[in-house]
Each structure stands twice: as C-alpha cells, then as structure tokens.
Amino acid sequence: MQIVGKGMKPEDKLGVIQALNIAGLISKLTLDDEEFIERVANLCNITGIALCEAYNMSNQAPDVKAATRAQIETLWPFMLQFLSNEYDDTSTRVLPFVNETLQMLKRQAKQGGLGDTDRTLLRSLLEAIVGKMEYDADAEWTASPEDEDDVAFHEMRSALKTHFDAIASIDEALFTGYVHGFIGTTLRNVASGAQPSWMRVELAVQLVYWLGETARGQIQLFQKQADGTTNATPFGEVVACVFESNVASYPHPAVLVPYFECAVRYASFFEVRRDCILPTLACFLDERGLHNSCKPISRRSWYLFARFVKTLKVHLVQYTGDILKGMQDLFVIQPEAVEDDSSMNRQASTFDSQVYLFETAGSLISADGVDPSKQTAFLETALQPILSGIQQHAASPGTVVSDPVASLHLSRLIMAIGAVAKGFPTVDKQQAPTGPWVAGFKQAIEIVLAATEQLKTVAVVRDAARYSFSRFVNCLGVEVLAYLPPFIVSVIGEGEPNEVTDFLAFLSLIVHKFKPSIGDVIDELFLPLASRIFAILEQPTTGTDEAVMQGDVRRGFLSFLVSLFNFELQDVLISQRNQAHANSVFMLIVRHARDCSSVATQKLAFSLLGKMTSAWAGTTQAGTTVLPGFEQFLYTEIIPVCFEVPMKPEFNMADGQTQLAFGELAGALKLAQEKRGAELLQYLRDVYFPSIQCPAEVGQGVLQALEQLDIKRFRTFFRDFVRKSRPSENGASA
C-alpha cells in the first residue's frame, strides 16, 4: 500500500501497479478473515484512487491514459465486492474509490457519453449502494438516537446517499428505472397483502423521501393535460404508491417516521389527491403517530403533523373538530423534573415537542373556512386545560417560588398559550382582529398577566410570559397594546441584565410594528424601563460575565433609543412624564460617546447625538429652538465630544468599526452646522476653538469646511484634519 500510494509520475505509477498486478493478486487471496478483508479492501481503494488521479491528469499520453483506464476497470469487480460486503467497515473502506470512479464517469458523460461498460458498472454500483442502505436482517431496530449501532448505520447511509445522488446526476434514466422499480415492486407487494421484510419496506419509503432531495427542488408530481385533466408524473406515481399501499399499517415501527416525512415533503400531492388525506390524517392521529407508545416516533410525528397541517389546513377545515378532539388528551402538560440546562447535558423534554401540538391547534382553529360560530369552542378546547393549570399554580405562589418543578410547569403552561397563538396568522399591524377567538385570547392574556404579576420573581415565569406576549402581538395586533405596560412594568424590575436586553429588543420590534400608535404606550413604559437600566449600569462589576452583560444592556438601550428616533417617537424622551429625567439620558449618551472601550456602543452614541441634533437643535418659525435649551446642551456637550474623542490615542482610526463611529461623529457636527448656521460657526470661532488653543488659521479651515462642504466631503476633510492634528506616538502622524 505504501508503494502504490507513493507520489510519482503517472506513467511510472502505472508501471508499478502493472508490475505488482494488484487485481491478479487480490483474485488469488483467500478472503475469510474480517480484519484481513478490510486490509485488502484498503489496498484496492488506495490503488484505485491512485489510478483515477493518474487518469485525470490532462498531460497524459493517449496510450498511457488508455492503459490506466484498463487497470481501473480490473479493480471495479473487487470494488463492488468489497462495497457489498456484509461488514460495514469493509464497505466504507472503498467509498473513496467509488467517489473517484463516479467523478470520472461524470466527466466522461459530459464530454463524450458513457459506454456499455460504464452503464453496467453504474447499475451494479446502484444495486450495491441500495443494498447497503438496507438494514441487516439481524439488525435490532431502535428509535433511540443514542444507540451506537444505529448511529453508525445512519452515518454510513449518509455517506452512501452522496454516491446515490451522484449516480442520478450521471445517468438519470438508469437511476430512475432501477430506483422506481425497487420502490414500486416493494410497495405493491405491501398493498397486495404480501409481507416483504421490514428492512426492505423501510428502505423503499425512505428512498421515496430521498428522491425529493435527489431531484434538487425539481419535484413535479402532476402534469395538466390539454383537456384539463391532471395526470401523475412518473415520480408522482412513486409518491402515490406510498399513500395508496397502506404501508403506514405495515407491522413494524421503522416504517412510520419516513412515511410521515414523505407526507410533509410531498404535501402538494394531497392537494390533487384529496382522497388520500383522510387515511393519512388517521395515521397521524392514532397510535401509529401522535399517540404512538414509542416516544421518539410520537415526538417526531408531533412536529411533522404541525408542518402537515400548516401546509394543508385549507383542505382540513371539515375535519377540524375531529382533529382537535383526537389531540385533546395530548394538550395536558405533565410536570417534569428540572434538568441541567447546559447544551451538553440537557435532554429534550416532552414539552419541547409538545409545543408543536399547540401550534397545530392554532393553525387549525384560525384556518380560512372554519365556521366562526365554532372557533370560540375550538379555542376553548385547546386553552381551557392550560388556563386552569395556570390559575391553580397562581393560587399557590409559595409552592411555585420554592419548587423548581412547579415553576417550570407553570412556565410551560404559559408558553403553551403562546404556541397556540403562534399558529394564528399575523394580523395587519394597525388593525384590530375581529374574529370570535379574540375574546378567548384576551381572557388568556389577563390570566397570564395576573400569574406573572404574582410570580414575577421567578425567572422562568418571566421568560415564558415574554415568549407568549411576543406571539400575542402577532395575532392580536393593536389589541395587545393595552396589556403591554402592566406586563412590562411588572417584570422589568425583577429582570436580570440578560432579560432586560431581550426586553429592549422585544420593545424595538413592537415600536417598529405599531408606530406611531405605540407612542403613548412607550411614554408610559419609558421611565420604569430607564430606571431599571440605570440601576443595572450603576452596579459595580466583579467579573467578566457581569461586564459583558452590562455592555449588552448598554448597547440594547442605545439601540432602543435609536429606534425611537427612526420611527419619530423621540418626543417620548422629553414628554411631560419623562422630561425631568431627560438630562440623565442625554448625559448617558454623551458618556458612552466619550468611552472608546466599546466601539459598537460608541457608534450608537454618536448616531444618537446626530439624531438628537437633527430633531431638536433647529429653530421654529418663531425663531426659538425646537427644544428650548437644547442649543446649550449642543454647545457644552455635543460639540466638545465630537472634537475631543477623535484626538484620543485609543480612538483607533485604522480600525474599520472606529471609522463607522467617526462617520457618525462627523455627521453630528455637520448636522449641528445645518441646524444652527452662523450661530454655531461664531461659537466655534469665538468660544470653543480659543478654549482648546486651536490656531486661528486651522480653526478657520474647519469653519469653511463645515459651511461649504456636503456631508460626504466634510467627513473626508475632518478625517484628514484629525490625522494631522492628533498627537502622534513615536513622533509619527496618527
């Protein structure tokens, strides 16, 4: 193997391999020991790869190329033999050689076409690959994702799938003929009452699912004819076999998950073949699917059923009541022990999958065509057990606070309501929904609010409430605004820094969605929100984690302020309710503009100074400042910080992020000139520049640039000005 794998010229390597007669050597060996077979398979693989690499070299003489190809062909029977070996370790040894062979044939198919020998090999390879994809006859199937043998088998399947797809791209007709025939024969046998092995049936259904990937998005199940009829394509006929063969009733659980996967992937099939909807629906709902006693199967089906319903809910309207009734026992959320929440140790809980059931209920209830008179009852079917559980927990707050299991259970009940709301469509941001279900959700919000207020000291309850409120916003629109102030005020005071950061992002989305009608709500919320943020930022940090969280809160708050300006809600900062605290907010912004330790925060701060200047530094028709007194803040705080910060050694002008912050800084100066005009220029010339001992001729150049250049050219000028003016390190210009 070392000799064959050694680097040398193609003709030299060919000579060595011919002299060694590898194919002849392998044919004479007695292959009866598993470890020895693996070593021989490895020899075949290394030799084959070396030959393929030599064959692909473009500078080969034609006779050398032909001889190399002949040597490759002598190894193909052994490659197929090892690939089909009963031991997977032996099969995987030759997969690199298989890959090189397929790449070689792919190039040949594009350049000059395939010969009979090539097609024969492709057919044999496809048969071997499909055969290796099938579970062994003595395999003990398990749905557990932790079973080592099953994991190893699926890893090998995944590797084989790559070559399976490659053959499809080389010769589609050959591939389709064999694979469609394998699937059709197997599923027709099932339909006729025969009992093919579970391994073959599972593979047939799995192949149908994989064909959707192999087609690379070009799935066409039906074609419309000139007379208006719709006929299935050859691929559509294969998909039809899955849902017409009653394969979902095959007495082995291995078939079920790929069956459900096919139902979701080919959901468009049911839009034409609606006669297949009810049998598939029944399979999902009974002990084969949602109620399967095997947890991995049932949990996977909960997720797949949610996708199935979401795609086909218009066609499921007539079954809504029956579906909800069939799912009702699954809406009960059982208390579960608290597990380690780290990514390495945390096991998926039942509830992690159960949320899909609640989302499915929402999709069904809100579907177009559902009788409005029944929607309220349907929603009550889904929500009532949850709401009753929330009220029971709220009646014993001491237990929830002291018992982690109880607090986790309550949080899941609250999240379940949000999951139901998630299934509802997003309403227009400025319109109130009119469906009969609105009253049911309002009642749910009030119950969630009451429980959250009572148990706001419990972190998981706060998180769950925020999760659900974000879903209520989408389905209730402006109807939810009245509930936001009491909700946020009740939890913001207890929130940890990371929760406050999340709340700020949530509020920014709310502002975007409901501008400008959200103004009064934000006005009411701003003071308690700002107070909590100031309290967090004033706390001394004792470690890196705390410093990072403080930084996140700082950036989150400044980003939130930016969103207020972007959506013309900046007057919230200076409203009658908040004006007494406005100066504290303004000075916080200036402080972070001066701080070079976080460029991202500094950029936000300078952006805000520019927005404040644009909004409030101008004059009214009466000649007064838009925000009386703001001009003093402009001259005493904004102007100095814009000139002082770029001169700091730690303000690294070579850094890309710093340049973005500098752009905001220069923009704030230019905006100040545009808003205050000659008054600003006079202040700079007569007051500020003398105070910093700026030479008159240098200052005059800055004044002329401010007055005469547009923002883009002024930014360039000011950058050059700063570089020339900064005290340099080691005597060089900064």
The C-alpha atoms of residue 467 and residue 411 are separated, in whole angstroms, by 10
Q: What would the pLDDT profile of 153-202 be if each residue is shown by its tens digit?
A: 899 999 999 999 999 999 999 999 999 999 999 999 999 988 899 999 99
DSSP tally for the chain: helices H, then strands E: 36, 2
pLDDT in tens, 212-241: 887 665 678 888 877 777 888 889 999 999
Residue with tokens 């240098």: 698
Q: Which residue has the tokens 């060089």?
A: 732
In whole numbers, what is the pLDDT of the chain averaged over residues? 90
CA distance 210 to 330: 31
pLDDT tens-place string over residues 107-135? 989 888 889 999 999 999 999 999 999 99
Tell which wins on pLDDT, 410 or 435.
410
Contact 201, 253 (CB under 8 A): no
CA distance 17 to 11: 10
**DSSP string covering 102-145, please?**
HHHHHHHHHHT---HHHHHHHHHHHHHHHHHHSPPTT------T
Q: Count of residues for the chain?
A: 734
At which residue do the structure tokens 């076409």 appear? 113
pLDDT at 492: 85
Structure tokens, 31:
């292959």
Within 10 A of 145 (CB to CB), how many other CB atoms are there?
10
In the predicted structure, residue 10 carries a pLDDT above the cut 80: no
Residues β-bridged to residue 222:
232
Kindly tell me if the per-residue pLDDT of 586 is higher than 60: yes
Mean pLDDT in residue range 83-89: 92
- Give the pLDDT confidence score for residue 237 in this predicted structure: 94
Task: Render pLDDT for 367-395 as a digit per residue (tens, 0 to 9).
Answer: 999 998 899 999 998 999 899 999 999 89
pLDDT of residue 16: 75
What does the longest C-alpha to C-alpha distance in the chain come to?
105
Residue 367, both tokens = 């579907």
**CA–CA separation, 464 and 419 (whole Å):** 11
* Residues 199, 177: Cα–Cα separation, whole Å: 21
Distances (CA, A) of 85 to 88, 129, 150, 191: 7, 11, 18, 31
Summarised one tens digit per residue, pLDDT across range 679-725 is 999 999 999 999 999 999 999 999 999 999 999 999 999 999 998 88
The token pair at 318 is 């007539």
Q: Is the pTM of this model over 0.95?
A: no
What confidence score (pLDDT) does residue 198 get? 95
Across 26-48, average pLDDT = 90
Residue 115 burial class via C-beta count within 10 angstroms: exposed 0-12, middle 13-18, buried 19 and up: exposed
% of the chain surpassing 70 pLDDT: 94
The DSSP annotation for 615-647 comes to HHSSB-TTSSBSSTTHHHHIIIIIHHHHHHGGG
488 pLDDT higher than 80: yes
Decide: helix, strand or coil at residue 224: strand
